[in-house]
Amino acid sequence: MADIIDGKAFAATVRKKVAEHVTRLKSEHNITPGLAVVLVGEDPASEVYVRNKGKQTHECGMNSYEHKLPADTSESILLALIDRLNNDPTVHGILCQLPVPDHINSEKVLNAISPAKDVDGFHISNVGLLATGQKSMVPCTPLGCLMMLRDRHGSLSGMNAVVVGRSNIVGKPMAALLLRDSCTVTIAHSRTKDIEALCRNADILVAAVGRPQMITGDWVKPGATVIDVGINRIPAPERGIGKMRLVGDVDFASASAVAGAITPVPGGVGPMTIACLLANTVTACCRANGLPEPEGLTA
Ligand code: NDP
């Protein structure tokens, strides 16, 4: 039976490190890191994420600035707000919650955020820096996965890693990070042939697909480390009529019987994502002020 990688507990240790660093920044340098989160429209899931981000930012001793704009906000008004935040020295991190309404070009918005304040790591400059192995702001979800993998294995050098999914926010940056840590990396996607055999060769298997329980135990190499990024809602009639539950892209029951270690859903990668957003904000603040970066909180 696989070891369960407890993302909730790991995220708590990351938040503790962030809070300790924030305390030092305040007492030694009179600087309080600030994170601005911009939400356009009234998507209920996004509102929950934004609320959680604000709460955890405060709990770590940082300033949180929430900017809620109506759904009919024009692109130019949103860009003007981002410009203002780019030039605000009390703001060290800026995040625009996705998705934005259809009339707004999300790429344009993400690329308007100053790369130094781009705590989501989605700006094209940060994407390029990561791809070329240089210091950058790293997307939060893959950063969280990398932290858990390094904690489990120490060095990842020489390991075979398979990342299932090639999205810009998870799959591609995850693959770039694993490559930078000297894994032999394969990216699989919807057109990949014989994907099961490919996965069975993986010492590290990262699933970022968005298909409930697609990866079953017979895809997993015995002893492999399985990181399940997927968050899927499926009907749970055993809990009552109309009830739902969260599952990953990995079939936990069968995969955990074969893997050496596995992240559960919920309680695995999910909690690490916000913790890494806080870590990125502290990192951005240190870089902006020419101070040493916190150890163990960057890629
Ligand atoms: P996307 O939909 O952007 O990308 C999904 C990827 O999976 C695509 O590259 C797609 O391939 C690939 N794919 C789809 N079907 C198959 C298949 N049958 N076989 C192999 N590959 C397939 O999703 P995201 O990367 O944004 O998210 C992936 C999952 O992670 C989702 O469940 C999402 O909710 C979750 N997530 C969780 C986060 C967290 O904090 N834990 C954060 C972000 C996402 P192709 O490119 O060929 O279409």
Q: Are strands 232-235 and 244-247 parallel, antiparallel or unpaired?
A: antiparallel
pLDDT at 97: 96
Average pLDDT over the chain, rounded to an integer: 97
pLDDT at 24: 97
pLDDT tens-digit readout, 221-263: 999 999 999 999 999 999 999 999 999 999 999 999 999 999 9
Confidence class of residue 175 from pLDDT cuts 50, 70 and 90? Answer: very high
Q: What is the DSSP secondary-structure string of the chain? A: -PEE--HHHHHHHHHHHHHHHHHHHHHHH----EEEEEEES--HHHHHHHHHHHHHHHHTT-EEEEEEE-TT--HHHHHHHHHHHHT-TT--EEEEPSPPPTTS-HHHHHHHS-GGGBTT--SHHHHHHHHTT------HHHHHHHHHHHHHHS--TT-EEEEE---TTTHHHHHHHHHHTT-EEEEE-TT-TTHHHHHHT-SEEEE----TT-B-GGGSPTT-EEEE---EEEE-GGG-TT-EEEE-SB-HHHHHTT-SEE--SSSSHHHHHHHHHHHHHHHHHHHHTT-PPPTTS--
Ligand 1 nearest atom to the CA of residue 248, by list position: 32
Confidence class of residue 177 from pLDDT cuts 50, 70 and 90? Answer: very high
Among the listed residues 76, 61, 81, 77, the one whose alpha carbon sits nearest the alpha carbon of residue 18: 61
- CATH: 3.10.300.10, 3.40.50.620, 3.40.50.10860, 1.10.10.10. Which one for 29-115? 3.40.50.10860
Do residues 204 and 183 lie in contact, with contact meaning Cβ atoms separated by under 8 Å? yes
pLDDT tens-digit readout, 43-78: 999 999 999 999 999 999 999 999 999 999 999 999
pLDDT at 103: 98
Ligand 1 nearest atom to the CA of residue 272, by list position: 40
Does the CB atom of residue 159 touch ligand 1 within 6 A?
Answer: no
CATH 3.40.50.10860 domain extents, the chain = 29-115
pLDDT at 245: 95
Q: What is the CA radius of gyration of the chain?
A: 19
Ligand 1 centroid from CA 189, angstroms = 9
pLDDT at 130: 97
Q: Is 153 exposed, middle or buried (0-12, 13-18, 19+ CB in 10 A)?
A: middle
Tokens found for residue 239? 């809990």
pLDDT at 141: 98
Q: Measured between alpha carbons, how far is 206 from 200 in angstroms, rounded to an integer? A: 12
pLDDT tens-digit readout, 183-200: 999 999 999 999 999 999
| Percent over 90 (pLDDT), the chain | 100
Ligand 1 centroid from CA 210, angstroms = 4
Do residues 272 and 7 lie in contact, with contact meaning Cβ atoms separated by under 8 Å? yes
Ligand 1 centroid from CA 250, angstroms = 12
Confidence class of residue 132 from pLDDT cuts 50, 70 and 90? Answer: very high
Mean per-residue pLDDT, 132-136: 94
CATH fold of the domain at 140-271: Rossmann fold (3.40.50)
Ligand 1 centroid from CA 19, angstroms = 32
pLDDT at 80: 98
* Site to substitute for ligand 1 among 190, 219, 272, 274, most atoms within 8 A of C-beta: 190
Does the CB atom of residue 230 touch ligand 1 within 6 A?
Answer: yes
Residues serving a catalytic function are 53, 97, 120
Ligand 1 nearest atom to the CA of residue 273, by list position: 40
pLDDT tens-digit readout, 114-125: 999 999 999 999
Mean per-residue pLDDT, 90-112: 97
> What are the φ/ψ torsions at residue 228 (nearest 5 degrees)?
-105, 105
CATH 3.40.50.720 domain extents, the chain = 140-271
